[in-house]
Structure 1
C-alpha cells in the first residue's frame, strides 16, 4: 500500500444523485470516504432542489450526520456565472456551505464574455473569503470556460488568491487538453480534482457528449482516459472527488455498493500510477 492510498477521497454528489444530502453523508461514511460533495443548488432545471438556506430541517439533519460520521464536506455545488448573475445573491448559499464545513465551491462559467466572467469570479472570491471558501472554476467543453487554458486565464484575470481550477478527466479529455498544459499552470490553482473514466472515443455531437458526462461515465481504470498522466501532471496529494454518474449501474446496484467499488477502483489507479516510484 503506497502513501497515495492515504490521499483524501470525496464522494461527489453526482455519483449518488438519487440520495438526499443526509443520505449522501451516510453513504460516504459507510463506503470509507473522508469527504463528501454536496449539491446545494441544482445543476439543471429537472434536478431536485433541496431547502438548505436558513435554519431548515434538512440542513440540521445534514449537520447531524456530518457530526455523527466524522465525514467532512469537500465542496459545495453549483454556482453558475452568467452574464446577468448577481453574485451577492449567492451569499445565503455560501453561508450554508461554510456552516457545513465546505472548503471549495464549484463554479461553472456560463458567460461568453471572459472579462465579465473574471469580474464575477473576483466578486465571488471576495464574498467567499470571510467564509474561508475557495470558488474554483471547472472547465467543461460545452460551457464558456471550455478548457483548462481558458479557465486558467479567467482565474488569473480575477486577481484573487482564493480561487483555482477543478480538473475533471472526462471534460479535460473531451476538450482536447494536454497534460503539458496542466504542468505549465501554477500549482496553487489546484485544490482538488475530480475523478472518473470514460470511453476513449470522443463523442462527435453535443448530445452524446452531455449524456456521457452527466449519465454514463466509467469506473476509474475501466475506460480510455489518461488518468495516470493527469495525476502526474497535478500536485501530489490533492484530494480527489470521485464523480462517476452511471445511471444503468444505478438501476441494479445500491449507492453504497457503487461508492465502495469506485473508491477501490480509484485506489487501484493511484497504486498503479505511483507504485513504481
Structure 2
C-alpha cells in the first residue's frame, strides 16, 4: 500500500491553539495538520489568525520548525445573511499558512442563494490558490451527497469540491454507490472517524456525537472499508475524531492513537482488497 497523506484535523484537538496543534501533530507523526481559523460555534475558543497577528506568526514559525504542512482550514458557514467578502481575511491567512483546501458548510435554506454564495466564495479563493470543499452534514441545509453535488454543478467553479466525512456520510443515509458518480477532480480530501453503527434517535444526540464523541477508525461500527474503497486510493485523509470522554488521555496520546488506528484500518482495507483481486 503506497503512503497515504494523513492529517490531524482541528476538531480532534480543539482545546489546542493553532501553533500547539502543529506541534502536537508533528510529534505524533503526522505530515499534515488541519487548522480552525474561524470557530464553528460561539462556545469554541476564539483564535485571532487574521492579518499579521501574533498567533498567526507563531503558527508560521511552528510550521517552519516542524516541517509540517497545513492540509486544510475551516470553517466557513454560508448563512442567509453572510457577506462572502467578509471571509477574505481568513482566506488570506489560509493562503499564507500554505493551505489549499477550505471547509465550507451550507447553512442557507434558500438553495439558489446558497449556490450563489458558494460560487462567489470560490471566486474569492481562486486567486489565492484555495479550493472550497462543501461538507454535507445532516443538520445543515446541504445535508447529503446529492444536494452537495447539485450545489457544485450549479456553482460551476473549477475550485469547488465535495468533502466526505465518514460519520455524516453514514448518518445522512448516503451509500458508497453514490460516490461512483462523483468526478475525481471534485474530491480533494476526506475526513475519517468511526462511530456506533446504530444511528442516534434525536438531533441532539446526532449533534453531540458528531461534535464531541466520535471513535478512532476501526473502533466503531461504520462501514469504513466500503467507504474507503469507493473513494480514490490516494485521497488525502484528515482524522476528525473529537473524543471529549477521552480528554484525560491528553492531546498527544489521543493524536498517536488516531494515527495508529487509521493506519491499521488502511492496511486491513487495502490488504484485503489486494488479496481479493489476486484470488
Q: After TM superposition, is the score higher than 0.5?
A: yes
Indicate the residue corresponding to 1:147 in structure 2.
144
Which among 132, 136, 149 is matched to residue 133 of structure 2?
Answer: 136
Which among 72, 77, 80 is matched to residue 74 of structure 2?
Answer: 77
1:164 and 2:161 are equivalent in the alignment: yes
Indicate the residue corresponding to 2:193 in structure 1.
196
Indicate the residue corresponding to 2:277 in structure 1.
none
Indicate the residue corresponding to 2:234 in structure 1.
237
Partners of 2:233 and 2:161 lie apart in 1 by: 16
State the 1:237 CA deviation: 0.7
Uncovered stretches (5+) of structure 2, i.e. residues with no partner = 275-279
Which among 40, 49, 52 is matched to residue 52 of structure 1?
Answer: 49
State the 1:113 CA deviation: 1.3
Matches within 5 A, 1:9-88: 9-88=6-85
State the 1:48 CA deviation: 1.0
Partners of 2:25 and 2:111 lie apart in 1 by: 36
The structure 1 segments of at least 4 consecutive aligned residues displaced by more than 2 Å after TM superposition are: none
| Matched positions, count | 273
* CA RMSD in angstroms, aligned pairs only: 0.7
State the 1:194 CA deviation: 0.1
Indicate the residue corresponding to 1:114 in structure 2.
111
Matches within 5 A, 1:242-253: 242-250=239-247, 252-253=248-249
TM-score (norm: length of structure 2): 0.97
Partners of 2:129 and 2:72 lie apart in 1 by: 12
State the 1:122 CA deviation: 0.7
Indicate the residue corresponding to 2:215 in structure 1.
218
- Secondary structure at 2:199's aligned position in 1? coil
State the 1:156 CA deviation: 1.0
- Secondary structure at 1:275's aligned position in 2? helix
State the 1:236 CA deviation: 1.6
1:25-52: CA deviation from partner (whole Å, max 9, x where unpaired): 0000000111100000000011111111
- Secondary structure at 2:216's aligned position in 1? coil
Q: 2:15, 2:45 within 8 Å by CA — same for their partners in 1? A: no
TM-score (norm: length of structure 1): 0.97
Indicate the residue corresponding to 2:266 in structure 1.
270
Partners of 2:81 and 2:151 lie apart in 1 by: 17
Indicate the residue corresponding to 2:250 in structure 1.
254
1:96 and 2:93 are equivalent in the alignment: yes
Partners of 2:146 and 2:226 lie apart in 1 by: 17
Partners of 1:208 and 1:202 lie apart in 2 by: 9
Uncovered stretches (5+) of structure 1, i.e. residues with no partner = none
